[in-house]
Amino acid sequence: MKFPALMLLGLTAAMAFQAQASSPDAWAAYDKKVLASCLKASGLKDPEPIGTAAQFDDRVGYTALLLQGQYPQKHMKGATGTELCLYRKKTKTAFVTEWDSVRPTDTPR
């Protein structure tokens, strides 16, 4: 094997290792940051995460998290609401939208 090919192989291996080298502590800190940003962006009263965050590929650049809480408006009478939070990794910004349609309805079909 020639030197340039060997160097390319070494660089490729180093980049592959680096891409998967995130520690459990680093992931925990990231998850905590995502949760805090999503809770802050939420329009619900006492929002809490439903399940765990969905980690999208870096090409997509987002992490998704479902939140559930109560609608704060008086006319909603404390009804439960669900929001989808998208956390943009690049800007470290959370965006939420109402997503009650993800929950099953209580009415029989």
Per-10-residue mean pLDDT, the chain, length 109: 43 43 89 98 97 94 97 94 97 97 67
For residues 54 and 44, what is the distance between their CA atoms, to the nearest angstrom?
21
Question: Looking at residue 93, what is its pLDDT?
Answer: 98
**Residue 13 falls inside a structural domain:** no
Question: Does 1 map to a domain?
Answer: no
pLDDT at 72: 94
Closest CA to 82 of 97, 93, 72, 95: 97
- Amino acid, res. 108: P
Cα angle 102, 69, 58; round to 5: 60
Does residue 46 form part of some domain? Answer: yes
DSSP letter, residue 107: S
Query: Which residue range is the domain that position 52 belongs to?
Result: 23-102
For β-strands 62-70 and 80-88, DSSP reports them as antiparallel
**Cα gap 9→34, rounded to integer Å:** 35
Query: How many structural domains compose the chain?
Result: 1
Question: Does the residue 5 lie in any domain?
Answer: no
Does residue 12 fall inside a structural domain?
A: no
What was the pLDDT predicted at 108? 53
Number of neighbouring beta carbons within 10 Å of residue 62: 16
The 10 Å Cβ neighbour count of residue 85 is 26
**pLDDT for residue 103:** 76
